[in-house]
Amino acid sequence: MEIVKKYLPVNTKVNHKRLWLILEKESVSRMVEIKEEKSKKIMRLADEFSVCNLCVFYNGILYVNMEDEGYIPKDETQLAIVVKQYFYAKGERLLANMAKKVAEEILTLPLRQVRENEIPWNLVALKGNWLLDICTFSVSYNPGIFLPFYLDVEYDPAVLASGCLTPVFDKMLQQLSNRDMEISQRIWEMMGCVLSNDVYYKKFFVLQGVSGSGKSTIIDILTDLMPRRYVTSLSLDKFNGEFGMATLCGKALVVNTELANKEISENNIAKLKEATGGDTLTSNVKYKEPVTFQNRSSIIFATNHTFRMETTDQGLLNRACVIPFTNSIPQHMQRDRMELMRMLQGERLAIVFKALHAFILLKNRQYQFAGNLQMMFTVRDAEGDASVEAFIYEMCTPYPDGQYGAVALYKFFERYCWVKNRPCARYERFELLMRQEFEKGKGHFLGSKNPLAVFKGMIVKPVIR
């Protein structure tokens, strides 16, 4: 009735149609006022949120600074949840729809764009917004510095004070490396590269060797040190796919634990070199706009086979950092993954410190990795034939009563190629060339019930690294 008294004189007979028009006009006017007030509130809240520097863009991805985790990649829906939680903590409750509107408004504001050269290579983020300076190994609390990923490890000052002891991991490493110091050091250096924010080492890692030798164990330990959102699996074939390279964007680690035993095409090799070259990459994204970014992810392959290529690509071989796993661990000595992670729980921070210390030493050596370990690789016939001919000339001596199993001899040839850094021929080609020099037949060995394929009339010199 207040509205009626406002527009109609006293003692005036009420016309219902006119009254309806008056009420409609007042309602529309009030709705406009409410909408304007709501719009101003949305803009105020969005400005307040953005001023706190809680949102940045890096490589076209929105990152939001979370209290316990640092900057985390979020989409618009997740941003709305963060906005609602942020203002709730400040005593202002927002409905879900209002939080969504604020999130949309925030994305229209000129948010900070993080450039590649703004990311400090010497800082590593630990859980809880702790920052580790790997040059001085000092730890500080600074939630305002942007780093593209953090390690899922709690900071404990007692670990540094105790000297970063890792007895369980050290014992495991001795077993995996067969007490080879060069291999152990390479594993530490690889882990340091993965855990650091440095992108200048320009390598991918190949864990190569026999099955059951601990390759997957090392990868499991690395992935356990960082949140799963920063780790992805990608087969080598997908590097050359339309959307393959986009998978690397926003990741810290890309793994392929079962590299297929097949020839790698020149296109895949080119993509792998491109991903590890430190250059700016552009890739299509399914149902989205193309992305342009610099790859910051470390790439690890694990395989029980030789690296097979169409032709020898020296550029790729220079990018490969191989870690040989030649010691197959007996089944009764292998530990369950969950049991191993439980045993290493108390050493996680110490492992991080020791790996990053190994990385600093590596960086000081201009990224020259420990030892002279070469990757076992095979190529098509021409280059592999030369390796077989050199093997026959250097390692095989005619001897009437001598014989070697064909498969065992090929394993011997693979080791020869690895030690001499030669391209390794395919087994079929190796067998064909060996038959031109030595007789092939059937023979028995100790412990074998059935006859095996053998080469007769020769003995082989030992291969010494």
* Tens-place pLDDT, residues 52-86: 778 888 888 888 887 777 788 888 888 888 888 88
User: What digits encode the pLDDT tens for the residues 216-247?
Assistant: 899 999 999 998 889 988 887 777 777 777 88
Q: Which of 158, 185, 211 is the last residue of a domain?
A: 158
State residue 356's pLDDT score.
95
Residues 219 and 303 sit within 8 Å (Cβ to Cβ) = no
pLDDT for 381 equals 65
Residues 253 and 290 grouped into a single domain: yes
The pLDDT of residue 340 is above 90: no
Q: Is the pLDDT of residue 446 over 90?
A: no
Q: For residues 299 and 165, what is the distance between their CA atoms, to the nearest angstrom?
A: 28
Q: Name the band, by pLDDT with cuts 50, 70 and 90, for residue 354.
A: very high
Q: Is residue 40 domain-resident?
A: yes
Determine the Cα–Cα distance for residues 324 and 187; give it in Å rounded to an integer.
10
Residue 3: pLDDT over 60:
no
Choose between 97 and 444: higher pLDDT: 97
In a domain, 321, yes or no: yes
The domain that contains 239 carries what CATH number? 3.40.50.300
pLDDT for the residue 448: 62
Q: What pLDDT does residue 54 have?
A: 80
Q: Is the pLDDT of residue 383 over 80?
A: no
Give the angle 140-144-148 at the CA atoms, nearest 5°: 95
Residues β-bridged to residue 112: 56
| Average pLDDT, integer, range 140-148 | 82
Out of 144-153, 168-177, 271-280, which region has the weakest mean confidence (pLDDT)? 271-280
Indicate the pLDDT class of residue 363, thresholds 50, 70 and 90.
very high
Residue 61 host element (H or E): strand 61-66
pLDDT at 133: 92
List, in sequence order, every beta strand (DSSP E) within 168-294: 204-209, 231-233, 253-256, 280-285, 288-294
Same domain? 125 vs 104: no
Confidence label for 26 from pLDDT (cuts 50, 70 and 90): low
Position 19 scores a pLDDT of: 59
Structure tokens at 16: 């219902």
The answer to whether residue 175 is domain-embedded is yes
| pLDDT of 222 | 93
Residues 29 and 102 in one domain: yes
Q: Which pLDDT value is given to residue 447?
A: 58
For 103-133, how does the pLDDT look when each residue is reduced to its tens digit (9 = 90+)?
888 888 888 888 888 888 899 999 888 899 9
pLDDT digits (tens, 9 = 90+) for 306-324: 787 777 778 888 888 999 8
For residues 309 and 231, state if they share a domain: yes
pLDDT at 160 over 70: yes
Name residue, tokens 């164990």: 217
Q: What is the DSSP string of 368-412?
A: --SS-----EE--HHHHHHHHHHHHHHHEEEEEEEEEEHHHHHHH
- Boundary (domain end) residue, out of 331, 364, 397: 364
Residue 461's alpha-carbon distances to 327, 377, 391, 392, 431, in angstroms, are 22, 22, 10, 10, 18
State the average pLDDT over residues 354-376.
90
Position 7 in a domain: yes
Kindly state whether residues 455 and 418 are assigned to the same domain: yes
Name which of 45-54, 55-64, 433-442 the model is least confident about: 45-54
| Residue 374 forms part of a structural domain | no
Supply the CATH number for residue 449's domain.
1.10.10.10
Domain assignment present for 372: no
Q: Which of 364, 395, 424 is the last residue of a domain?
A: 364
pLDDT of residue 338: 80
* Statement to judge: residues 350 and 207 lie in one domain: yes
Is there a domain that residue 36 lies in? yes
* 251 and 286 together in one domain: yes
Q: Percentage of residues in the chain with pLDDT exceeding 70? A: 89
Residues constituting the chain: 465
- Highest-scoring range by mean pLDDT, 12-16, 376-380, 437-441: 437-441
How open is the CA angle 199-202-203, to the nearest 5 degrees?
120
Report the pLDDT averaged over residues 340-352: 88
Same domain, 349 and 415: no
Side-chain-side CA neighbours of 316 within 13 Å: the count stands at 21
Q: Is 414 helix (H, G, I), strand (E, B) or coil?
A: helix
**Of the ranges 193-197, 253-257, 369-373, the best mean pLDDT one:** 193-197
What domain count does the chain have?
4
**Alpha-carbon separation of residue 41 from 80, 105, 125, 201, 412 (angstroms):** 15, 11, 35, 49, 75
Q: Which tokens belong to 324? A: 């040989």
Q: Give residue 23's domain range.
A: 2-113
pLDDT of 379 higher than 80: no
- Judgement on whether residues 196 and 344 belong to the same structural domain of the protein: yes
Residue 465 lies in a domain: no
The pLDDT value given to residue 223: 92
- For residues 427 and 438, give the distance between their C-alpha atoms in angstroms, rounded to a whole number: 16
State whether 142 and 231 are in the same domain.
no
For the segment 267-308, what is each residue's pLDDT rounded down to a tens digit? 888 888 888 877 778 888 777 777 788 888 899 999 888 787
Q: What is the largest CA-CA distance in the chain?
A: 133
**Do 313 and 268 contact (CB within 8 A), yes or no?**
no
Q: Check residue 449 and give its pLDDT.
A: 66
- For residues 176-187, give the mean pLDDT: 90
Mean pLDDT (the chain, rounded): 82
> What average pLDDT does this structure show over 184-198?
94
Same domain, yes or no: 182 and 88: no
pLDDT of residue 200: 86
108 CB-near residues (< 8 Å, 6+ apart): none
| Residue 233: φ, ψ to 5° | -110, 135
Are residues 187 and 61 both part of a single domain?
no
What per-residue confidence (pLDDT) applies to 292? Answer: 80
pLDDT greater than 70 at residue 402: yes
